[in-house]
């Protein structure tokens, strides 16, 4: 049986004692010191021993402290009473754990006392009532934000995702609360709207996770960045290709309602340069670089300076293996443009592969489809890995239902790439993983549709990095 000393007065002190009485535990016995006698009728005499005296009196407090307590909790209304009481305790018990409710800022007086600031507690409780603010555990663990509760909003990127496809590095989903019931997590468990997730991890990491969970559809290219970036290498492209890329970029800018940055390198056509300069306005920035620098340093600097969230490049540049590796390392969505008109797109095409990466980027797929008013079509090759593919299909069907977006699933026994080649125009969405950066010759004997993306080079392709959080 552990002995705990409570030194209390005032309304807060009485309320605290009542809460202790209501919280049943057979492992503690409480010795309660009050400056005024106040009766608690439901206090068990086996667990509570009450005393009435002034704890600033060293003689009276010393008699109580002859017993072995594991902790003292002090909540009093007068600052000097609190300070003198702590000094009396320290004269007798140098190492006894003392916890005090502080209304005044007395922490500077005592380095060996656990000080709980009342203003912080009140502000924290008020903060918890606000929407779109994370609830952080205050009384468990390190109390530094390593335990957090997050409500999953209706349009969250986490909605209807299986836990097994959510990267959890330096953080974990410890529990799910749904309709006032506790649900223990496992990899095939699916997150639903209005679930409350209990997260555990590094406080800085949890803040990032919170932002991702609260990120709703309609924000693309967020969370990757804010603006659109078109990279034009005039030494690699003809004027017709450049004009086609510009037209696509302007249409994309209009649909996403973002600023457009056009970076021109290796200029060699004066008339074309003048046409590009004429594009400049409040929302379109055209910068021509005459210095010879590598693509990596150019794009890296522009991304940081302009806060880029979507990179547009011509298919000829993406075809170069070194460029693909550079773009992959940037961890930004890359839209590879073809010669087909972007404003005539009607469909977004997904080729289900032997993994579940498409589930990880589903929020981006629906966001893009919503912005450009595209249908979503899934092609399921029936020859292999059906269990994983069926899980992805289930996820996309659930996403479609909550966002009122129609999708079509084609279960086919022929090569899905061959089927796609029969279409006139579409946007293919591909997870941007390391395998996209490999030399194309390595794909000769592969059956992975992601690796075989280059067979659809004549179509627009959006490569989405797998965001790790």
262-286 in b/e form (b: 16+ CB < 10 A) is bbbbebeeeebeeebeeeeeeebbb
Which residues neighbour 167 within 8 Å (Cβ) at sequence distance 6 or greater? 360, 466, 467, 468, 469
Q: Which run of H or of E encompasses 209? A: helix 203-214
Q: Which run of H or of E encompasses 379? A: strand 375-381
**What is the pLDDT at residue 155?**
73
Distances (CA, A) of 274 to 229, 247, 356, 386: 19, 16, 46, 54
Q: Give CA–CA dist 297/49, Å, rounded.
A: 73
**All structural domains of the chain:** 2-120 (3.40.50.720), 131-214 (3.30.70.1450), 227-465 (3.40.50.12370)
111-123 in b/e form (b: 16+ CB < 10 A) is eebebbbeeeeee
Q: What is the DSSP letter of 382?
A: T
Q: What is the pLDDT along the chain (469 residues), one digit of tens a residue?
A: 789 999 999 999 999 999 999 876 667 899 999 999 898 988 888 889 999 999 999 999 999 999 999 899 999 999 999 999 999 999 999 889 999 999 888 876 777 888 888 888 788 778 767 776 777 766 666 666 789 888 888 778 788 888 888 878 889 999 999 988 999 999 889 998 889 999 999 888 888 788 778 776 677 898 788 899 999 999 888 889 999 999 999 999 999 999 999 999 989 888 889 888 888 988 999 999 887 777 888 898 899 889 899 999 999 999 999 999 999 999 999 999 998 989 999 999 999 887 888 888 888 899 899 899 999 999 988 876 678 888 889 888 888 876 678 899 999 888 889 889 999 999 999 999 999 999 888 777 777 888 889 999 999 999 999 865 5
**What is the pLDDT at residue 440?**
84
* Overall pTM surpassing 0.85 (yes/no): no
Token pair 């299986």 is found at: 162
What six digits make up the tokens of 222?
């967020």
**What is the pLDDT at residue 132?**
66
Beta bridge partners of 246: none
Residue 233's CB is within 10 A of a number of other CB atoms, namely 19
Q: Give CA–CA dist 315/318, Å, rounded.
A: 5
**What is the pLDDT at residue 22?**
85
Helical residues (DSSP H) of 221-337, grouped into ranges: 239-256, 270-277, 295-306, 315-318, 321-330
**What is the pLDDT at residue 404?**
72
**What is the pLDDT at residue 467?**
65
Distances (CA, A) of 204 to 144, 147, 161, 214, 382: 10, 11, 23, 16, 43
């Amino acid at each position: 049986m552990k002995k705990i000393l409570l030194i209390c007065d005032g309304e807060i002190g009485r309320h605290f004692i009542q809460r202790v009485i209501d919280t049943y535990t057979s492992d503690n016995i409480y010795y309660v010191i009050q400056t005024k006698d106040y009766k608690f009728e439901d206090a068990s005499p086996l667990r509570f021993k009450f005393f009435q005296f002034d704890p600033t009196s060293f003689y009276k407090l010393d008699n109580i402290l002859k017993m072995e307590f594991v902790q003292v909790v002090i909540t009093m209304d007068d600052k000097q009473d609190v300070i003198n009481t702590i000094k009396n305790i320290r004269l007798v018990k140098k190492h006894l754990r003392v916890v005090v409710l502080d209304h005044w800022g007395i922490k500077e007086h005592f380095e060996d006392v656990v000080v709980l600031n009342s203003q912080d507690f009140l502000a924290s409780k008020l903060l918890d009532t606000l929407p779109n603010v994370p609830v952080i555990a205050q009384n468990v663990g390190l109390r530094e934000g390593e335990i957090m509760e997050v409500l999953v909003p209706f349009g969250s990127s986490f909605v209807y995702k299986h836990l097994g496809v959510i990267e959890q590095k330096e953080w974990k989903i410890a529990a799910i609360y749904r309709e006032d019931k506790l649900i223990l997590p496992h990899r095939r468990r699916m997150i639903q709207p209005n679930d409350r997730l209990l997260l555990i991890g590094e406080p800085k990491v949890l803040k990032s996770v919170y932002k991702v969970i609260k990120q709703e559809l309609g924000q693309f290219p967020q969370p990757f960045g804010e603006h659109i970036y078109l990279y034009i290498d005039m030494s690699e492209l003809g004027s017709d290709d450049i004009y086609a890329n510009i037209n696509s970029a302007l249409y994309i800018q209009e649909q996403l309602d973002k600023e457009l940055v056009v970076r021109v390198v290796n200029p060699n056509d004066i008339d074309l340069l003048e046409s590009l300069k004429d594009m400049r306005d409040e929302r379109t920035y055209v910068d021509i670089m005459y210095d010879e620098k590598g693509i990596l340093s150019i794009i890296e600097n522009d991304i940081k300076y302009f806060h880029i969230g979507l990179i547009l490049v011509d298919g000829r540049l993406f075809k170069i293996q070194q460029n693909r590796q550079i773009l992959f390392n940037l961890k930004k969505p890359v839209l590879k443009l073809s010669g087909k008109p972007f404003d005539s797109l009607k469909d977004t095409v997904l080729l289900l592969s032997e993994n579940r990466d498409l589930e990880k980027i589903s929020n981006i797929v629906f966001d893009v489809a919503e912005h450009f008013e595209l249908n979503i079509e899934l092609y399921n090759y029936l020859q292999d890995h059906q269990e994983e593919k069926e899980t992805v299909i289930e996820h996309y069907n659930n996403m479609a239902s909550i966002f009122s977006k129609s999708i079509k699933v084609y279960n086919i026994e022929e090569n899905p790439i061959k089927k796609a080649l029969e279409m006139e125009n579409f946007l293919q969405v591909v997870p941007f993983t390391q395998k996209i950066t490999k030399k194309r010759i390595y794909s000769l004997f592969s059956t992975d549709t992601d690796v075989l993306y280059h067979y659809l080079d004549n179509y627009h392709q959006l490569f989405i990095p797998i965001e790790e959080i």
